[in-house]
Amino acid sequence: MQIDITVNGTAESHDVEARTLLVYYLRDAVGLKGTNVGCDTTSCGACTVLLNGESVKSCTVLAAQVAGEEVTTIEGLALEDGRMHPVQQAFQECHGLQCGYCTPGMVMAITSLLAENPDPTEEYIRLGLEGNLCRCTGYHNIVAAALAASQALEMRQ
C-alpha cells in the first residue's frame, strides 16, 4: 500500500506492505539509518522517534498507522545551518555516550521530554528515560547531558 508520511519535513511516499513497521519504513524505504533497532520488543527505546513532536517507539508502530502525520528522526534534529541540535551538542559536551547504539533513541526521547517540560529536575529526566536502556556507560552522563541541554534550550529562547 502507498503510505505518505512527512519525515523530517520532507513528504515521503512509498509503496510498502501493510505490516511494515515504522522503523523499517524509515530505515529501508526512506533510507534513514540513524534510527536503530535494539530489542524489537518495545523495551529498549533505541528506535525512539518523534511522532508529531512526541516520543514513540517506532518498532511498535505500523507505518500505516501514522500515514499523513509528521515524524522526526535523529537526522532531522540538526539546525538549518548544520549545527547540532542543543540535545546533540550536550551529548557531545557531557560525553553522554560510549558505543552510541542507544544514542539516537536517547536524544529523541530527551527532545520530547524537554518539549513537555523545559525546566526539568534530575528526577523528572531519570523517570522520563525509563523506556531507554543504555548497556555501556550507565546513565550518569546521559542525564547530565539532558540537564545541560535544558539549560542550553532555555538560553536560546
Partner 1 sequence: MIPATFDYVRAGSVDEVIGLLGEHGDDAKLLAGGHSLLPLMKLRLAQPALLVDIGRLRELSYVTEEEDVIALGALTRHHDIATSPVTLSSVPLLAHVAGQIGDLQVRHRGTIGGSICHGDPASDLAAVLLALGATFVAQGPNGRREIDAQDFFVSFFEVALRSDELLVEIRVPRPLDARWGFEKLTKRAQDWAIVGAVAVRSRSGVGVGLINLGPVPLRSSAVEAAVVAGSNAAEAAAFAAEGTEPSADFNGSVAYRQHVARVLVRRALEKAGV
Figure out which of the listed residues 16, 34, 40, 152 binds partner 1, where binding follows CB under 8 A: 40
CA distance 4 to 134: 32
Instruction: Determine how many CB atoms are found less than 10 A away from the CB of residue 54.
Output: 11
Sites for partner 1 among residues 127-156 (CB under 8 A): 127-128, 130-132
Would you count residue 115 as binding partner 1 (CB under 8 A)?
A: no
Would you count residue 112 as binding partner 1 (CB under 8 A)?
A: yes
Rounded least distance, CB 82 to partner 1, Å: 28
Would you count residue 45 as binding partner 1 (CB under 8 A)?
A: yes
DSSP-derived 3-state class of residue 49: strand
Binding mask 56-85 for partner 1 (x = CB under 8 A): xx--xxx-xx-x------------------
Would you count residue 43 as binding partner 1 (CB under 8 A)?
A: yes
Closest CA to 54 of 4, 111, 103, 117: 111
Rounded least distance, CB 40 to partner 1, Å: 5
What letter does residue 138 receive in the DSSP assignment? -
- Among residues 65 and 92, whose Cβ is nearest to partner 1? 65
Instruction: Determine how many CB atoms are found less than 10 A away from the CB of residue 145.
Output: 27
Instruction: Determine how many CB atoms are found less than 10 A away from the CB of residue 48.
Output: 30
Check if the beta carbon of residue 46 is closer than 8 Å to that of residue 39. yes
Output the nine-digit C-alpha cell for 12. 515521503
Binding site for partner 1 (CB under 8 A): 1, 17-19, 21, 24, 40-43, 45, 48, 51, 54-57, 60-62, 64-65, 67, 109, 112-113, 127-128, 130-132
